[in-house]
Amino acid sequence: MNRPHMMRRDSLYINGEWVSASGDGVIEVVNPATEEVIGSVPVGSQADVDAAVTAARAAFPDWRTTTCEERIATLNALSAAIKENTEELAQTITAEVGTPIGYSRMAMVGTPRVVARSYAKMLETFEWEEEVRNSLIIKEPIGVCAFITPWNFPLHQIIGKVAPALAAGCTMVLKPSKEAPLNAFLLADIIDEMDLPDGVFNLVSGHGSDVGEYMSSHHDIDMVSFTGSTGAGVRVSQAAAHTVKRVTLELGGKSANVALDDADPQLVGKMAIGACYQNSGQTCSALTRLIIPKSMNDEVCEVISGRIARYTAGDPLDDTTRCGPMVSARQQASVSEYIQSGLDEGATLIAGGMGMPDGLESGFYVKPTVFADVTPDMAIWQEEIFGPVLVITTYESEEEALALANDSIYGLSGGVWSADVERAMAFARGMQTGQVSINGGPFNISAPFGGYKMSGNGRELGLHGLDEFLEIKSIQRPVE
């Protein structure tokens, strides 16, 4: 099978040019399926951040005054360029993250392409001003934005910030994940070939503990948008606090998938697998806690155990692979520790378990795993595992089901299954979470995405995602 060639990048993208980094060393990128180094990016420094912020600040006055038509053209051109480069982007993301190639093409590249286009469409009818009595209410771009993005959906999370920022009239500095930065450099190549003014988009790679925290605290950055772990999000908030800049956070999740007692057990069992294992379980919004009526337990577990063998783990470039590797040896070890924890705490293993999947001797793989008889005091119930591990518990009343669903420090996503859509809707209203899918309702890129509680604050995507990049000004006029 064809694999991406070695991709070594030695420059940062600042003020419309590729320039040498002033930091020391490189960050090597490892293919998690082969454990081979496939590329590297430079380690940026605080001086590089300063240069990027200076460029973004200088570009802001002109970019903020561009017309909607100009921004629409930019966003449509970005969407078209992503589409044109789909295969190279997908192959690169699969090599960096281990995502099965079909899912890379569809979700990792296809979704950001549609998101960019959606903001172009949004600008056609967006209301920038409104009158309220004697006041004119104006929406204006917030300014220079810092973006710190994760490895699990790398391009999607980048475009989910870049597209609304461009639409709003903001300028930006991006620091991509060190585990999966290569796709961000390909994006910078794409933007470099577009007619985007110098300094509007800047790219500085580096370590979160240095470059990321410095960006968060930078006095000349007006907003920081972070996606990643809850612990890292707390550090971003702390670093940003003294400048009182706007901070949006999209953090962890431990989302509940609830079957009401009139749901179809066969359908629930079948759909629960994909809802948890999407992107090999490395998804913040994965439905990792399955909550089912006690009377349904045996049938649902039987369905899941019978179908789990079809969720094949292996080479992510093989079109038949459903589950790729974990992104790193560290992540593999972390997921394995949670699986062992489930065994030690007395959960019933109905699929998977410790060790490598059958037939695999290398790569950062774990077995797609399912535990039943999980109780709320177990670590595998409470903590985000970020791997292909589904945990199942039962309930006897709908009130208990809702309490179990809300028994989490997180609140990012959720699911409800019922033969009665209105009944499911009523249950969904009681869930303390940012989004809920009823009977497998598909993801909507025009709806806001974000969480309650320790899953973060602020929203991405749709009109609500655009509003995050806007300040609101009220101008009071004399009353005649």
- Does residue 289 share a domain with residue 244? no
| Residue with token string 């609500």 | 464
Q: Residue 244: CB partners within 8 Å, gap ≥ 6?
A: none
For residues 279 and 32, is the Cβ–Cβ distance under 8 A?
no
- Six-digit token string for 216: 């968060």
Residues 320, 238 share a domain? no
Domain containing residue 376: 255-444
Q: Is position 95 within any domain?
A: yes
- Domain contains 2: no
pLDDT band at 2 (very low <50, low <70, confident <90, very high): very low
Q: At what angle do helices 182-192 and 86-97 cross, to 10 degrees?
A: 160
- The reported pLDDT for the residue numbered 305 is 95
How much is the average pLDDT of 14-27? 96
* Judgement on whether residues 366 and 460 belong to the same structural domain of the protein: no
The answer on 301 and 209 residing in a single domain is no
Confidence band, pLDDT 50/70/90 cuts, at residue 480: confident
Each residue's pLDDT tens digit, 285-331: 999 999 999 999 999 999 999 999 888 899 999 999 999 999 999 99
466 and 167 Cβ atoms separated by less than 8 Å: yes
Cβ partners under 8 Å of residue 136, min gap 6: 129, 130, 474, 475, 477
Same domain, 41 and 17: yes
Distance CA 314, CA 357 (A): 8
The answer to whether residue 340 sits within a structural domain is yes
- The reply to whether 203 and 310 lie within a common domain is no
Residue 235: inside a domain, yes or no?
A: yes
Q: Are 203 and 230 in a shared domain?
A: yes
Question: Residue 139 forms beta bridges with which residues?
Answer: 472
pLDDT per residue as tens digits for the range 240-279: 999 999 999 999 999 999 999 999 999 999 999 999 999 9
| Tokens describing residue 263 | 């749901």
Number of domains in the chain: 2
Question: How wide is the angle at C-alpha 213 spanned by C-alphas 208 and 217, nearest 5°?
Answer: 160
Note whether 229 and 303 are same-domain residues: no
Residue pLDDT, tens place only, 126-147: 999 999 999 999 999 999 999 9
**Secondary structure of residue 414 in the 3-state scheme:** strand
CA distance 404 to 396: 11
pLDDT of residue 310: 84
> Do 246 and 309 share a structural domain?
no
Query: Using the 8-state DSSP alphabet, how is residue 281 labeled?
Result: G
d(CA 104, CA 285): 17
For the stretch 68-107, pLDDT in tens is 999 999 999 999 999 999 999 999 999 999 999 999 999 9
The residue among 16, 126, 119, 125 whose CA lies nearest residue 71 is: 119
Return the SS3 of 166: helix
Confidence of residue 6 (pLDDT cuts 50, 70, 90): confident
Q: Does 480 fall in a domain?
A: no
According to DSSP, residue 313 is labeled: B
CATH number at residue 84: 3.40.605.10
Give, as one character, the DSSP assignment of residue 441. P
Are residue 232 and residue 275 in the same domain, yes or no?
no
Residue 309, pLDDT score: 84
Q: What is the mean pLDDT of the chain?
A: 97
Residue 308 belongs to a domain: yes
On whether residue 182 sits in a domain, the answer given is: yes
Centre a 10 Å sphere on the Cβ of residue 224 and count the other Cβ atoms it contains: 25
Q: What is the pLDDT of residue 5?
A: 58
One domain, residues 215 and 300 = no
72 belongs to a structural domain: yes
Query: Does 17 share its domain with 165?
Result: yes
Compute the average pLDDT of residues 188-192.
98
380, 347 Cβ separation under 8 angstroms: yes
- Which residues are catalytically annotated? 250, 284
pTM (two decimals): 0.96
CATH number at residue 406: 3.40.309.10
